[in-house]
Amino acid sequence: MDSAKGRDHMMKARELGIPFDGQPGLFNAITDVDGVTVGHTTLIAGDQINSLLRDEELPFGREFTVEVGDSSYSKPAYLHSYRQFPNLVTIACARGTRVFYRQYEPTEEEKANPKAGHPTWYGEPFALADPTTWGKPDDILVIPERSRRGKLYQVEIQAWHNLLMPGKNKPVRLPTHEHPFTLVRIVRYDEDGKPAFKHPLWLIVMGERRHELSLLHIHQAYASRFDEEHFFRFGKQ
Protein backbone atom coordinates (compact mmCIF):
# COMPACT_ATOMS: atom_id res chain seq x y z
CA MET A 1 0.00 0.00 0.00
CA ASP A 2 1.30 3.46 -0.85
CA SER A 3 -1.43 5.43 0.89
CA ALA A 4 -0.96 7.16 4.24
CA LYS A 5 -3.39 4.69 5.77
CA GLY A 6 -1.41 1.78 4.39
CA ARG A 7 1.86 3.14 5.78
CA ASP A 8 0.18 3.63 9.15
CA HIS A 9 -1.00 0.01 9.16
CA MET A 10 2.51 -1.19 8.30
CA MET A 11 3.95 0.76 11.20
CA LYS A 12 1.42 -0.77 13.60
CA ALA A 13 2.25 -4.24 12.32
CA ARG A 14 5.97 -3.71 12.76
CA GLU A 15 5.43 -2.44 16.31
CA LEU A 16 3.70 -5.74 17.08
CA GLY A 17 6.38 -7.76 15.34
CA ILE A 18 3.95 -9.05 12.73
CA PRO A 19 4.98 -9.36 9.05
CA PHE A 20 2.63 -7.13 7.10
CA ASP A 21 3.70 -7.26 3.47
CA GLY A 22 5.24 -10.73 3.22
CA GLN A 23 4.32 -13.44 0.78
CA PRO A 24 0.99 -15.16 1.50
CA GLY A 25 1.24 -18.73 2.75
CA LEU A 26 -1.67 -20.89 3.86
CA PHE A 27 -3.63 -17.74 4.71
CA ASN A 28 -3.91 -14.31 3.13
CA ALA A 29 -1.23 -11.82 4.05
CA ILE A 30 -2.15 -9.47 6.89
CA THR A 31 -3.74 -6.32 5.49
CA ASP A 32 -4.77 -4.37 8.58
CA VAL A 33 -3.66 -4.16 12.20
CA ASP A 34 -5.21 -1.97 14.87
CA GLY A 35 -5.25 -1.63 18.62
CA VAL A 36 -8.43 -2.84 20.31
CA THR A 37 -10.10 -1.33 23.34
CA VAL A 38 -11.54 -3.90 25.74
CA GLY A 39 -15.18 -4.53 24.84
CA HIS A 40 -14.85 -3.05 21.35
CA THR A 41 -13.35 -5.98 19.45
CA THR A 42 -16.24 -6.47 17.04
CA LEU A 43 -16.53 -2.73 16.38
CA ILE A 44 -12.88 -2.47 15.36
CA ALA A 45 -13.07 -5.69 13.35
CA GLY A 46 -16.22 -4.43 11.65
CA ASP A 47 -14.51 -1.23 10.56
CA GLN A 48 -11.56 -3.22 9.24
CA ILE A 49 -13.75 -5.62 7.27
CA ASN A 50 -15.75 -2.73 5.84
CA SER A 51 -12.55 -0.97 4.80
CA LEU A 52 -11.14 -4.08 3.13
CA LEU A 53 -14.32 -4.82 1.20
CA ARG A 54 -14.64 -1.26 -0.06
CA ASP A 55 -10.99 -0.88 -1.06
CA GLU A 56 -10.94 -1.10 -4.86
CA GLU A 57 -7.22 -1.92 -4.85
CA LEU A 58 -7.88 -5.14 -2.92
CA PRO A 59 -9.71 -8.23 -4.26
CA PHE A 60 -11.91 -8.96 -1.23
CA GLY A 61 -14.95 -6.94 -2.26
CA ARG A 62 -15.13 -8.26 -5.81
CA GLU A 63 -14.05 -11.87 -5.28
CA PHE A 64 -15.49 -14.72 -3.23
CA THR A 65 -14.34 -13.98 0.34
CA VAL A 66 -14.86 -15.94 3.55
CA GLU A 67 -14.41 -14.43 7.01
CA VAL A 68 -14.26 -16.59 10.14
CA GLY A 69 -14.94 -15.53 13.73
CA ASP A 70 -15.97 -16.69 17.18
CA SER A 71 -19.36 -16.21 18.83
CA SER A 72 -18.79 -12.46 19.22
CA TYR A 73 -19.20 -12.21 15.46
CA SER A 74 -22.47 -14.15 15.30
CA LYS A 75 -24.55 -11.33 16.76
CA PRO A 76 -27.32 -9.86 14.55
CA ALA A 77 -25.82 -6.36 14.42
CA TYR A 78 -22.46 -7.58 13.13
CA LEU A 79 -23.83 -10.10 10.65
CA HIS A 80 -26.39 -7.68 9.23
CA SER A 81 -23.79 -4.94 8.69
CA TYR A 82 -22.08 -6.63 5.73
CA ARG A 83 -24.84 -8.30 3.81
CA GLN A 84 -24.63 -5.57 1.16
CA PHE A 85 -21.44 -7.29 -0.01
CA PRO A 86 -22.65 -10.21 -2.16
CA ASN A 87 -19.25 -11.92 -2.33
CA LEU A 88 -18.75 -12.11 1.44
CA VAL A 89 -19.61 -15.25 3.40
CA THR A 90 -19.34 -15.17 7.19
CA ILE A 91 -18.66 -18.29 9.25
CA ALA A 92 -19.15 -17.65 12.96
CA CYS A 93 -19.50 -19.83 16.04
CA ALA A 94 -22.88 -19.81 17.79
CA ARG A 95 -23.42 -20.41 21.49
CA GLY A 96 -25.31 -23.59 22.29
CA THR A 97 -28.10 -21.71 24.07
CA ARG A 98 -29.35 -19.79 21.05
CA VAL A 99 -32.69 -20.26 19.33
CA PHE A 100 -33.18 -19.78 15.60
CA TYR A 101 -36.21 -20.30 13.37
CA ARG A 102 -37.16 -22.06 10.19
CA GLN A 103 -38.66 -20.01 7.42
CA TYR A 104 -42.43 -19.93 7.62
CA GLU A 105 -44.17 -22.23 5.16
CA PRO A 106 -47.72 -21.06 4.37
CA THR A 107 -50.46 -23.67 4.21
CA GLU A 108 -52.24 -24.47 0.96
CA GLU A 109 -55.23 -22.49 2.18
CA GLU A 110 -53.05 -19.48 2.95
CA LYS A 111 -51.48 -19.70 -0.50
CA ALA A 112 -54.91 -19.84 -2.13
CA ASN A 113 -56.35 -17.05 0.01
CA PRO A 114 -53.54 -14.68 1.01
CA LYS A 115 -54.53 -12.18 3.66
CA ALA A 116 -53.54 -8.56 3.96
CA GLY A 117 -51.41 -7.44 6.87
CA HIS A 118 -47.96 -8.11 8.23
CA PRO A 119 -46.31 -11.12 6.55
CA THR A 120 -45.25 -14.10 8.65
CA TRP A 121 -41.51 -14.72 8.40
CA TYR A 122 -40.67 -17.08 11.23
CA GLY A 123 -41.79 -20.68 11.47
CA GLU A 124 -40.93 -23.39 13.98
CA PRO A 125 -38.11 -22.72 16.47
CA PHE A 126 -34.76 -24.46 16.23
CA ALA A 127 -33.27 -24.48 19.74
CA LEU A 128 -29.64 -25.57 19.77
CA ALA A 129 -30.03 -27.01 23.27
CA ASP A 130 -33.13 -29.05 22.35
CA PRO A 131 -32.54 -31.86 19.81
CA THR A 132 -36.28 -32.46 19.49
CA THR A 133 -36.55 -29.17 17.56
CA TRP A 134 -33.83 -29.90 15.03
CA GLY A 135 -35.46 -32.30 12.61
CA LYS A 136 -33.52 -34.18 9.96
CA PRO A 137 -30.43 -32.34 8.66
CA ASP A 138 -30.35 -31.34 5.00
CA ASP A 139 -26.75 -32.52 4.57
CA ILE A 140 -24.41 -34.85 6.46
CA LEU A 141 -20.70 -35.53 6.02
CA VAL A 142 -18.53 -37.90 8.07
CA ILE A 143 -14.76 -37.72 7.66
CA PRO A 144 -11.75 -39.20 9.49
CA GLU A 145 -9.41 -36.72 11.11
CA ARG A 146 -6.12 -37.24 12.91
CA SER A 147 -5.05 -34.74 15.56
CA ARG A 148 -1.55 -33.32 15.82
CA ARG A 149 -0.95 -35.76 18.65
CA GLY A 150 -1.85 -38.68 16.44
CA LYS A 151 -5.33 -39.44 17.78
CA LEU A 152 -7.86 -40.58 15.20
CA TYR A 153 -11.37 -39.09 15.23
CA GLN A 154 -14.50 -39.39 13.15
CA VAL A 155 -15.92 -35.95 12.47
CA GLU A 156 -19.65 -35.72 11.79
CA ILE A 157 -20.79 -32.52 10.09
CA GLN A 158 -24.53 -31.79 9.80
CA ALA A 159 -26.20 -28.84 8.11
CA TRP A 160 -29.65 -27.27 8.09
CA HIS A 161 -30.32 -24.75 5.34
CA ASN A 162 -32.19 -21.45 5.30
CA LEU A 163 -32.69 -20.83 9.00
CA LEU A 164 -33.48 -17.36 10.31
CA MET A 165 -32.13 -15.32 13.18
CA PRO A 166 -34.52 -13.28 15.36
CA GLY A 167 -34.42 -9.63 14.37
CA LYS A 168 -34.21 -6.53 16.53
CA ASN A 169 -35.92 -3.15 16.44
CA LYS A 170 -33.71 -1.28 18.92
CA PRO A 171 -31.51 0.70 18.81
CA VAL A 172 -31.98 0.27 15.05
CA ARG A 173 -34.16 -2.12 13.07
CA LEU A 174 -32.34 -5.25 11.91
CA PRO A 175 -34.40 -7.16 9.33
CA THR A 176 -32.51 -10.42 9.80
CA HIS A 177 -35.37 -12.37 8.18
CA GLU A 178 -33.96 -11.10 4.88
CA HIS A 179 -30.75 -13.06 5.40
CA PRO A 180 -31.28 -16.82 5.79
CA PHE A 181 -28.22 -18.84 6.74
CA THR A 182 -26.91 -22.39 6.94
CA LEU A 183 -26.56 -23.82 10.43
CA VAL A 184 -23.77 -26.37 10.87
CA ARG A 185 -23.20 -28.79 13.75
CA ILE A 186 -19.81 -30.50 14.16
CA VAL A 187 -19.12 -33.38 16.55
CA ARG A 188 -15.87 -35.30 16.96
CA TYR A 189 -16.06 -38.94 18.02
CA ASP A 190 -13.14 -40.86 19.49
CA GLU A 191 -12.08 -44.38 18.51
CA ASP A 192 -14.74 -45.81 20.84
CA GLY A 193 -17.49 -43.86 19.08
CA LYS A 194 -18.01 -41.50 22.01
CA PRO A 195 -18.11 -37.69 21.65
CA ALA A 196 -14.60 -36.38 22.25
CA PHE A 197 -15.91 -33.12 23.72
CA LYS A 198 -18.81 -32.26 25.98
CA HIS A 199 -20.50 -29.89 23.54
CA PRO A 200 -20.82 -29.81 19.74
CA LEU A 201 -19.58 -26.91 17.66
CA TRP A 202 -22.35 -24.83 16.08
CA LEU A 203 -21.54 -22.58 13.13
CA ILE A 204 -23.57 -19.94 11.31
CA VAL A 205 -22.75 -19.63 7.60
CA MET A 206 -24.29 -16.47 6.17
CA GLY A 207 -23.96 -14.80 2.78
CA GLU A 208 -25.45 -14.97 -0.70
CA ARG A 209 -22.74 -17.37 -1.90
CA ARG A 210 -22.77 -19.67 1.14
CA HIS A 211 -24.06 -22.59 -0.93
CA GLU A 212 -20.78 -22.59 -2.85
CA LEU A 213 -19.05 -23.88 0.28
CA SER A 214 -19.19 -27.61 0.90
CA LEU A 215 -19.41 -28.97 4.44
CA LEU A 216 -15.73 -29.87 4.19
CA HIS A 217 -14.87 -26.31 3.13
CA ILE A 218 -16.78 -24.92 6.11
CA HIS A 219 -15.07 -27.29 8.54
CA GLN A 220 -11.61 -26.51 7.16
CA ALA A 221 -12.23 -22.76 7.12
CA TYR A 222 -13.24 -22.66 10.76
CA ALA A 223 -10.39 -24.96 11.80
CA SER A 224 -7.92 -22.57 10.13
CA ARG A 225 -9.04 -19.85 12.54
CA PHE A 226 -7.14 -21.47 15.38
CA ASP A 227 -3.87 -21.44 13.44
CA GLU A 228 -4.40 -17.76 12.64
CA GLU A 229 -5.10 -16.88 16.27
CA HIS A 230 -2.00 -18.73 17.45
CA PHE A 231 -0.02 -16.72 14.90
CA PHE A 232 -1.30 -13.42 16.27
CA ARG A 233 -0.71 -14.54 19.84
CA PHE A 234 2.91 -15.55 19.38
CA GLY A 235 3.65 -12.91 16.78
CA LYS A 236 3.29 -10.26 19.48
CA GLN A 237 5.84 -11.88 21.81
Please spell the DSSP secondary structure of the chain, one letter per residue. Answer: --SHHHHHHHHHHHHTT--SSS---SSPPP-------TT-HHHHHHHHHHHHHH-TTSSTTTS-EEEEE-GGGGSHHHHHHTTT-TTEEEEEEE-TT-EEEEEP---HHHHHSPPSSSPP-EEEEEETT-GGGT-S-SEEEEEEEE-TTS-EEEEEEEEEEEEE---B-SSS-B-GGG--EEEEEEEEE-TTSSBSSSS-EEEEEESTTGGGS-HHHHHHHHHHHHHHHHHHHHHT-
State how far the alpha carbon of 165 is from the alpha carbons of 50, 122, 154, 204, 211, in Å.
22, 9, 30, 10, 18
What's this model's pTM, rounded to 2 decimal places?
Answer: 0.75
* 222 falls within a domain: no
Which is more confident, 131 or 228? Answer: 131
* 47 falls within a domain: no
* 104 falls within a domain: yes
Burial of 193 (0-12, 13-18, 19+ CB in 10 A): exposed
pLDDT at 138 over 70: yes
* 13 falls within a domain: no
**Average pLDDT of the chain, as a whole number:** 80
pLDDT at 159 over 50: yes
30 neighbors 236 (Cβ within 8 angstroms): no
| Percent of the chain surpassing pLDDT 90 | 44
Q: Structurally, how many domains does the chain consist of? A: 1
Count of residues in the chain: 237
* 199 falls within a domain: yes
Q: Look up the domain containing 161 and give its range.
A: 70-207
Q: 218-233: per-residue pLDDT in tens? A: 999 998 876 555 444 4
User: How far apart are the two ends of the chain, measured CA to CA in Å?
Assistant: 26
* 37 falls within a domain: no
Which is more confident, 71 or 3? Answer: 71
* 78 falls within a domain: yes
* 117 falls within a domain: yes
pLDDT band at residue 22, thresholds of 50, 70 and 90?
very low
